[in-house]
Structure 1
Amino acid sequence: MNVPETPVHAVPDDAFLLDVREPEEWVAGHAPGAVHIPLFDLPARVAEVPEDVTVYVVCRVGGRSAQATAWLNQLGRKAVNVAGGMMAWAAADRPMAAENGQPPYVA
């Protein structure tokens, strides 16, 4: 699968960041401001993904987000996979938040 990809340090701070991980992964830690739509739910919720901006797609390490990126691009959206996913995001010390009151981490 050949999909456009960008390193985490190149994701703009104001980007539309789509997190396609499972709910328990999201709760443990995610990028602030990201939009959470699990990969399985994406076809039913694609209307929530903007058509007029680049969508940066992230998962844990990049596999699920690559699938989502390819699918979104087939629909005519402009999507880019975030290389290395949230593991790379955390390793690059990009901001993270958690939904459970605990320090954020990549689950």
Structure 2
Amino acid sequence: RFERPLVAGGRVVGFHTAWKPERPFPLDMAGFAVGLPLLLARPGALFDPRAERGYLESSLLGGLVAPADLEPKADNCTQVLVWHTRTEKPKLRQEEQLQREGRGSDP
């Protein structure tokens, strides 16, 4: 299934996620892009190799933007343009947790 940013009025207002939703940027590496001019303008923004599991993305993005500054792409984050694939049966524990909370992924 999937997790995604929640968008209202063309702005990211939160995230639909089950795993560690308290992360500043609860995104996977495949879920965002950063323009080269922004990276060059903020040379101190780096991945923290000591970041807690799940916080590597937040360590970089936190040095570049605030969550409110994210630019939603892919038709306001309604399209899936990149995904990870596996050749094994998926473990959907997080999706099952979301469903128990009444927040399952959109079909």
User: What band does the TM-score fall into relative to the shorter chain?
Assistant: under 0.3
Q: How high is the TM-score relative to the length of structure 2?
A: 0.26
Q: How high is the TM-score relative to the length of structure 1?
A: 0.26
Structure with greater Cα Rg: 2
Structure with bigger strand share is 1
Structure with larger RCO (C-alpha < 8 A, sep 6+): 1
